[in-house]
Amino acid sequence: MSNALFAGVDVGSLSTDVVLIDSAGATRAEVVFPTGINGAEAAQKAYDLALEQGGISRDQIKAVIATGYGRAAVAFASGKTTEISCHGVGAHHLFPDTGTVIDIGGQDSKVIQVDGRGRMLDFSMNDKCAAGTGRFLEVMAAQLEMNLNELSDPRHVSGESVQISSTCTVFAESEVISLLAKHTPREQIINGLQRSIVNRIWSMVISIGIQGEITITGGVAKNKGLVTVLEEKLGMHLNVPDNPQTVGALGAAHIAQRGFKDE
C-alpha cells in the first residue's frame, strides 16, 4: 500500500484536469489539458502526460476516478462520480476547515455544503445558463478586447460600476456592446460584470447558507477582481487554492484513495 498511487480525471467543458497522488495524499503530478471536441481523447492524453510528468508507470496506479461532465468518456477509469462530490473532497483536503465550497467552472456554478470529511451535505447549482461562468467571462473579455488576466485585475472593481441587468450571456453581451457605443469606461463595465456574477453566486449561497470556512474552486477562482467583490459581498475571507482549476481532479484522486483503503 505504501507505493500505491491514485488518479483523478476531471473532464470539464473547457479543460481536462488530471491529478496523481500517493498513498500519503501528496500530489505527484498535475496536468491541465484543453478538452476540445473529444473528451475521451483529451482524458487519455492528459492522463498520459501526468504519468510522464510524475515518472510513473501505468501499473503503479491502483485506482482512477473520473468526474466532470465528460466522465462517462473515460474508458480507463475504475469508477466515476459527480464533480460536486469531488470539489468538496478536494477543497477539504486543501483547507480542512472548509464547510462551504463555491465552484465556478466553464459552464456552470455551484455552492456546496460539506461535512468534516468534505462529503456533500447540500448544494445549489446554476446550470441553465452560462451567465456567471468562465464562458460568460470569455465572451465579455472578447467584446472588451481584453484577455482574462486583464479582466480579472482587482483595480477594475474599486471604482464606479454600471449595472448589467441581463441574466443571459447573449443579452448581457448586447448590453456591453451598447455601453461601449456610449463610450462608457471599460473599468465601469468590468466592475458591473464582476458584480453581476457575484449577485448570482450570492443568491445560491443564500439558498443553502454558509457554514465553516469558504473555499472557492474552478478556473474562475483565478479572477482576483471577482474574488475581491465576492469577499466584500459575503463579508468573509475566501480560501483560494494555488491551482483552483484542478481541485475537482484532486478530489477525485482522494476518493480513489479512500475507496482503495475501504476495500
Which of the pair, 93 or 134, is modelled with greater confidence? 93
Q: State the pLDDT at residue 94.
A: 98
Highest mean pLDDT among 48-62, 97-111, 129-143: 48-62
pLDDT for res 263: 41
C-alpha cell recorded at residue 190? 468590468
> CA-CA distance, 69 to 41, in Å (whole number)?
15
Q: Report whether pLDDT(262) > 70.
A: no
Using CA of residue 206, residue 208, residue 212, residue 214, what is the dihedral sign? negative
Report the distance separating Cα 176 and Cα 192, nearest Å.
10
Residue 172 has pLDDT above 90, yes or no: no
Rounded to an integer, the average pLDDT of 239-251 is 97
**Residue-level pLDDT at 61:** 97
Determine the pLDDT at residue 7. 98
pLDDT score of 130: 57
C-alpha 129, offset from chain centre: 16
pLDDT confidence of residue 232: 95
4: helix, strand or coil: coil
CB atoms within 10 A of CB 185: 14
Q: Is the pLDDT of residue 257 over 80?
A: yes
Check residue 167 and report its DSSP letter: S
Q: Which is it for the CA torsion 127, 192, 247, 149, positive or negative?
A: positive
**Start-end ranges of CATH 3.30.420.40 in the chain?**
1-95+244-263, 97-240
pTM of the model: 0.91
- Whether domain 1-95+244-263 has CATH 3.30.420.40: the reply is yes
Share of the chain above pLDDT 90, in %: 75
The CATH architecture annotation of domain 97-240 reads 2-Layer Sandwich (3.30)
Task: Find the mean pLDDT for residues 37-49.
Answer: 97
How would DSSP label each residue in 124-169?
Answer: EEE-S-STTSHHHHHHHHHHTT--HHHHT-GGGGSS-------SSH
pLDDT score for 1: 47
Q: What percent of the chain has pLDDT over 70?
A: 95
Q: What is the tens place of the pLDDT at every residue in 104-141? A: 987 788 999 999 999 999 999 875 565 567 788 888 89
The answer to whether the CB of 218 falls within 8 A of the CB of 134 is yes
Q: What are phi and psi of 231, to 5 degrees?
A: -65, -40
Q: Across the strands, what pairs with 27? A: 21
Kindly state the average pLDDT of the residues 236-261: 94
- Judge whether residue 18 has pLDDT over 70: yes
